[in-house]
Structure 1
Amino acid sequence: MRPNLLAVTAVGFSLFAVSAQASPFTNGSFETGSAPGSFITLDGGDATSITGWTVGGGSNAVDYIGSYWKASDGTRSLDLNGLVPGSISQTFDVISGQTYRVSFDLAGNPAGGPQFKTLDSTANLTLYSPPPFDVNGNSLSNMGWLNYSFLFTATSSSETLTFTSTTSGYSGNSSYPTAFGPALDNVSVTAVPEPSTWAMMILGFFGIGFVAYRRKSSASGMRLA
């Protein structure tokens, strides 16, 4: 292979390596952690029961769901209301200046009110609040999971992703007035190539094609001579 073709090819593949670099985010479907059985209720400050995640809030803040309902991905998920609204967060390594996409599946605990379940998701300075999730018509075996996503740009070498329940309406059950909240599963964080990166990649592949064309043209000229 000619040196100039080697150089252009190296540029193209190095750009792929940069754009495909994975963020060290972990356990997005909550499959690793303490065995929840049907479900267990976790207190704020618990940083061990769900691998990689820290529970926020007071006592009985988040339900770690096992077989209680059908998860979106795998067999485990969360209800962000234990007996009270809670939160879950994870801090992970990023590249400053890089844009990332956060994707997650949202549903709601259909075993009690209110009908509409809500949460906020935050990463760096970005706040994203998906539309209220309507549990009407859903069941523990058919949760009606919906996927949402948002973008954020890192400004340091690590960022924290947090999901916080904003569901506090009366459940209809006086024993557990705020115990039925938004359900969360299948969280992922992936790097998003910037437009300038795409432009460099396109130019790199154009260069590969141009060099290949010149090589073919030179070979044809030699045969004609």
Structure 2
Amino acid sequence: MKARSLLLQTTLTGAAVLLAASAHATVLTFDLDPGLPNYGDIPGTYGDNVNAASDAVGSYLTGNGYTPNVTTEYRTWQISTDTVAYNNLDFWATGYGDLTNVAFSVVSGDHFAEITLVPEPGWAIRLNSFDIGGYNVSDHPNSQVRILDGTSNTVLIDYSPLTILGSGGTHSSFTPGLTYNGPLSIRFGYNDWNVGIDNINFDQVTAVPEPETYAMLLAGLGLIGFMARRRKQSV
């Protein structure tokens, strides 16, 4: 009886590990070291494998911990050709509403900005929140903000169209609360580099099994229960 209980407990613990949301959060504030001038290129490694409040690239805020199993990618896309124009975004210190130190598209019209969070195998991304503000301390109507599958570019959440706040020292906040097993992209600043992003709050969490794996896991638990009942009946 004791052995059976131990076996079931071990199996259930394994299932819990697969399904658990072991969250660790990082907040990208774009506080870079050394500080960048306006229009400076944000380093492509900012936000990669964060395991401390600062590294050689810059500093971060933390929520539930760090995200050592996530990397970041920055791109500026050209809309008319649907191609990547630059593998980076630019930095600006102030003026995007009340936000300081933001990332924005390298080029204005016919372009948009993209930040992609890429989890290592076995991990998923939980995108908690992010802020976007309008330059020069002004509102920007008819803006577009989207969250996509970073591999297929399938749109998962579309906030468009909306007005990005900035006047009177304000900004717009987004709280998608989205958990995703693969790369997750935030796109913003369509035809408008005068909207900038800040305070991207995300977790790395244990990846949820695909439906086939989950079904196999449940089947395995059912088989163990059946074997336990047969053993009890034969005693």
The two structures share one fold, judged by TM-score above 0.5: yes
Aligned length: 186
**Residues 83-102 of structure 1, C-alpha deviation per residue, up to 9 Å, x if partnerless?**
6343223433124xx8x454
Which residue of 158, 163, 175 corresponds with 1:147?
175
Counterpart residue type for residue 91 of structure 1: V
Q: Conserved in 1, the CA contact under 8 Å of 2:181 and 2:208?
A: no
Residue matched to 2:11: 11
Structure number with the higher strand fraction is: 2
Cα distance in 2 between the residues matched to 1:56 and 1:145: 22
Residue matched to 1:179: 194
Q: Conserved in 2, the CA contact under 8 Å of 1:167 and 1:182?
A: no
Residues 101 and 54 of structure 1: CA distance in aligned 2, closer, same or farther (over 3 Å): closer
Cα distance in 1 between the residues matched to 2:166 and 2:96: 17
1:135 and 2:151 are equivalent in the alignment? no
Which residue of 148, 154, 168 corresponds with 2:191?
168
Residues 60 and 150 of structure 1: CA distance in aligned 2, closer, same or farther (over 3 Å): closer
Residues 36 and 67 of structure 1: CA distance in aligned 2, closer, same or farther (over 3 Å): farther
3-state SS, counterpart of residue 53 of structure 1? strand
Question: Shift of residue 34 of structure 1?
Answer: 1.9
Residue matched to 2:28: 30
Residue segments in structure 2 that go unaligned for 5+ positions in a row: 49-70, 77-85
Residue segments in structure 1 that go unaligned for 5+ positions in a row: 155-159, 170-177, 215-225
**Residues 107-161 of structure 1, C-alpha deviation per residue, up to 9 Å, x if partnerless?**
4313235224323333222333421342358653x4341211445555xxxxx43
Cα distance in 1 between the residues matched to 2:87 and 2:3: 65
3-state SS, counterpart of residue 32 of structure 2? coil
Cα distance in 2 between the residues matched to 1:14 and 1:60: 40
Q: Conserved in 2, the CA contact under 8 Å of 1:167 and 1:181?
A: no
Question: Shift of residue 14 of structure 1?
Answer: 1.4
RMSD across aligned C-alpha pairs, in angstroms? 4.7
1:124 and 2:148 are equivalent in the alignment? no
Which residue of 14, 19, 44 corresponds with 1:47?
44
Which residue of 83, 89, 92 corresponds with 2:119?
92
Q: Conserved in 1, the CA contact under 8 Å of 2:96 and 2:195?
A: no
Cα distance in 2 between the residues matched to 1:107 and 1:139: 16
**Residues 154-197 of structure 1, C-alpha deviation per residue, up to 9 Å, x if partnerless?**
5xxxxx4332324214xxxxxxxx32345562133433356674
Residues 186 and 33 of structure 1: CA distance in aligned 2, closer, same or farther (over 3 Å): same
% identity of equivalent residues: 13
Q: Conserved in 2, the CA contact under 8 Å of 1:42 and 1:59?
A: no
Question: Shift of residue 49 of structure 1?
Answer: 4.4
